[in-house]
Amino acid sequence: MNGRSGEGSGLYFVLVNRVERLTVWPSGTAIPADWQVAFGPGTRAQCATYVERHRAEPHPKGVAASAWTVPERVTQ
């Protein structure tokens, strides 16, 4: 099994980090440290809808832009 196996299944999660940044993530890929599941599994479209409905301000007050990182996908 490789780190991208979730892409073939068509199932995804929405992950959230400590500053409430959301990202769509393949279900078969390990969840990075400091991120947790906010929604899913679901289709990419369902996850995108969730993100649109729950998106916060681009940068919450008091959070530096440098704290907004998207995890890199792990491939094996």
Kindly list the domain boundaries of the chain, sorted by start residue: 5-60
What pLDDT is recorded for position 32?
Answer: 94
Mean pLDDT of the chain: 77
Write out pLDDT tens, residues 5-29. 444 569 999 999 988 889 999 999 9
| 3-class secondary structure, 25 | strand
Superfamily of structural domain 5-60 = Structural Genomics, Unknown Function 30-nov-00 1gh9 Mol_id (3.90.820.10)
Helix (H) or strand (E) holding 16: strand 12-17
